[in-house]
């Protein structure tokens, strides 16, 4: 089992930046690919970014490419999402997720474990 806890969300002005963190418990963190998803009110959960077990490969949604960056530090059992040039449409609850298969598939049902989410609100 893997337990995930997100942090770093908050209120930010359009054009600003935030860095989200996801801390994992357990001794098998490096066995999982990690992903970030988001969900706005009335919308389906949406893929944002994913990173391979070693951090060697990444994948991004077109809507965030060039603005967001995913990274991980396996020694600290932590994955990060750096968000720059934020827009009001980025407003959502952001979730961290772990995938044992490690295929970087941008679908929520592929992932095995989920955090509780952290709110990101971008004002115009």
pLDDT of residue 28: 81
- Quick one: pLDDT at residue 102? 82
- Cα separation, 70 vs 93, whole angstroms: 17
Q: What are phi and psi of 52, to 5 degrees?
A: -75, 175
DSSP letter at 100 equals S
Euclidean distance between CA atoms 90 and 15, whole angstroms: 11
CA angle 60, 66, 72 (to 5 degrees): 55
pLDDT for 11: 98
Q: How far apart are CA 64 and CA 30, in angstroms?
A: 25
35: nearest Cα among 74, 80, 75: 80
pLDDT of residue 2: 87
The pLDDT score that the predictor gives to residue 29 is: 87
**Could you list the mean pLDDT of each consecutive 10-residue stretch along the chain, which spans 124 residues?**
94 98 88 96 97 96 98 95 98 96 91 97 96
Burial per residue of 72-97, b for 16 or more beta-carbon CB atoms within 10 angstroms, e otherwise = beeeebbbbbebeebeeebbbbbbbb
């Amino acid at each position: 089992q893997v337990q995930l806890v997100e942090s770093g969300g908050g209120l930010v002005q359009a054009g600003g930046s935030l860095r989200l963190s996801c801390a994992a418990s357990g001794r098998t963190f490096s066995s999982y690919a990690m992903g970030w998803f988001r969900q706005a009110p009335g919308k389906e959960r949406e893929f944002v970014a994913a990173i391979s077990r070693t951090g060697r490969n990444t994948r991004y949604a077109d809507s965030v490419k060039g603005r967001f960056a995913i990274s991980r530090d396996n020694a600290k059992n932590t994955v990060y999402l750096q968000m720059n040039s934020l827009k009001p449409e980025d407003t959502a609850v952001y979730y961290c997720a772990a995938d044992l298969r490690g295929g970087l598939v941008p679908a929520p049902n592929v992932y095995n474990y989920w955090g509780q989410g952290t709110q990101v609100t971008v004002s115009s």
